[in-house]
Chains A and B, each alone.
Chain A
């Protein structure tokens, strides 16, 4: 599936006009993007490090996961909304950037992993789940979101 028409449309859309013409608006949206990313990263780390028994050992992991997942969703919405706006400013440049596609692929994998696997599985009592499966879930989650963040940063250097 070629997404060129979408990027071509985004490049000439009203969003692109605003993001290219008003540097201040872009900066404010970027600030929300960074805040969302830090919140998302924080929720991932707190939840996964709890699953790995590294921190918050005195709090039940079910409780930590329930609380972090809620804010993870809020952060994801903020990051994706602001990300679409920011990408409209350089839509065609991003279309030809390999690292951008690496980031989008890992983001799609991350969202699928969280909502189709991690969240439904962790709704069960954690004591009934194989501890190694829980640890594997945590390591995979950290790896995916690390890749999303690192490839996103790499876009600026490629």
Chain B
């Protein structure tokens, strides 16, 4: 297997993992902001 093929596969695996982690991370932040806004409305 050539170096290019290995790098392409690593790039795909890394990218998918990073994008999934990013969606989870920013999802949590947005959820936190929405919860804070909802709490603020209660007061």
Question: Residues of A at under 8 Å CB distance from B?
Answer: 102, 109, 113, 117-118, 120-121, 124, 128-130, 133, 136-137, 139-140, 143-144, 147, 154
Contacts and interface: CB of A to CB of B under 8 A. Distances in A.
B4 A117 contact: no
Contacts of A117: 7, 10-11, 14
B22 interface: yes
B8 A140 contact: no
A129 B18 contact: no
Contacts, number: 43
A109 B15 contact: no
B18 A109 contact: yes
Interface of B: 3-4, 7-8, 10-12, 14-15, 18-19, 22, 25-26, 29
A134 B2 CA distance: 17
Given A120-B7, A130-B8, A143-B19, A113 B14 contact: yes
Point out which of B8, B11, B18 has the most chain A C-beta atoms below 10 A from its C-beta.
Answer: B11
Nearest to B9: A133
Nearest to A141: B15
B11 A136 contact: yes
A139 B14 CA distance: 12
Nearest to A150: B26
Closest 3 CB pairs of A and B: A140-B15, A121-B7, A136-B15
B18 A143 contact: yes
A79 to B, nearest CB: 20
A147 B20 CA distance: 13
Given A113-B18, A117-B7, A120-B7, 16 more contacts: A113-B14, A117-B11, A117-B14, A118-B11, A121-B8, A121-B11, A124-B4, A129-B4, A129-B8, A130-B8, A133-B8, A136-B11, A136-B12, A136-B15, A139-B15, A143-B19
